[in-house]
A and B are shown apart, each in its own frame.
Chain A
Amino acid sequence: MGTTTVLKARPARPPSAPEPSVPRQTGRVPTGPGRRRRRAGMLMVAPALLHASLWIGLPVVVSVGLAFTKYDVLTAPEFVGLANFRDMLDDAVFRKSIVNTLLYTFFTVPFGMALGLLVALALHTGLKARGIFRTAVFLPQVTATVAIALVWLWIYNPSNGLLNTLLSFLGIEGPAWLSSTTWALPSVILVGIWQGIGMKMLIYLAALQSLPKELYEAASVDGASRVRQFFSITLPLLKPATFFVLITSMISAFQSFDQIYILTDGGPANSTTMMTYEIYKSAFREFRVGYASAQSLVLFVLLMGFTLVNKRIMGGSRGHN
Chain B
Amino acid sequence: MATTELLKPVPAPGSPKAPAKGRPVPVGRIALYVSLSVVSLLMVVPFAWMVITSLKTPVEIASQDGGLLPEHWEFGNYVDALKAAPFATYARNSFVIAISHTVLNVLVASMAGYALARIRFRGSETIFYLFVAALMIPTYTKVLPEFLIVRFMPLAGGNDIFGQGGSGWLDSWWALIVPGAVTPFAVFLFRQFYLDLPVELEEAARLDGLGEFRIYARIMSPQVKPAFITVALLTFESSWNNFLWPLLVTHSDSLRVIQVGLSVFKTENGTQWHFLMAGTTLATLPMVVLFLVGQRYFVQGFATAGLK
A residues at B contact (CB < 8 Å):
1-3, 5-7, 9-13, 15, 21-22, 25-32, 36-42, 44-45, 47-49, 51-52, 54-60, 62-63, 66, 73, 119, 121-133, 135-148, 150-155, 157, 159-160, 162, 165, 194, 197-199, 202-203, 205-206, 209-211, 213, 215-217, 219-220, 226, 229, 244-245, 247-249, 251-252, 254-255, 257-258, 261-262, 275-276, 279-280, 283-284, 289, 292-293, 296-297, 299-300, 303
Contacting residues, chain A, for B195 (C-beta < 8 A): 21-22, 26-27
Complex contact B280–A150 (CB within 8 A):
yes
**How distant is the Cα of A124 from the Cα of B149 in the complex, in angstroms?**
48
- A292-B144, A300-B141 given as contacts; is B108 within 8 A of A48 (CB)? yes
Least CB separation from B133: chain A residue = A15
**How distant is the Cα of A229 from the Cα of B13 in the complex, in angstroms?**
10
Give chain A's interface secondary structure class: helix
- A119-B39, A244-B306 given as contacts; is B144 within 8 A of A11 (CB)? no
Neighbour of B111 across the interface among A48, A136, A251, CB < 8 A: A48
Neighbour of A135 across the interface among B120, B202, B211, B292, CB < 8 A: B292
Lowest 8 A-B CB distances belong to which pairs? A41-B119, A216-B13, A40-B212, A248-B306, A59-B145, A48-B112, A144-B241, A136-B40
B residues at A contact (CB < 8 Å):
1-7, 9-15, 17, 29, 32-33, 35-37, 39-47, 49-50, 53, 61-64, 66, 68, 108-109, 111-112, 114-122, 124, 127, 129-149, 151, 178-182, 184-185, 187-189, 192, 194-199, 202-203, 206, 211-213, 216, 237, 240-241, 243-244, 248, 259, 262-263, 266, 273, 276-277, 280, 283-284, 287-288, 290-292, 295, 298-300, 302-304, 306-308
Contacting residues, chain B, for A27 (C-beta < 8 A): 117-120, 194-195, 197, 199, 202
Contacting residues, chain A, for B216 (C-beta < 8 A): 44
Contacting residues, chain B, for A6 (C-beta < 8 A): 2, 189, 192, 300, 303-304
**How distant is the Cα of A197 from the Cα of B36 in the complex, in angstroms?**
13
- A38-B119, A142-B287, A150-B280 given as contacts; is B132 within 8 A of A15 (CB)? yes
Contacting residues, chain B, for A28 (C-beta < 8 A): 120
Query: How many Å from the CB of A128 to the closest CB on chain B?
Result: 7
**How distant is the Cα of A206 from the Cα of B8 in the complex, in angstroms?**
11
Neighbour of B140 across the interface among A73, A130, A199, A276, CB < 8 A: A276
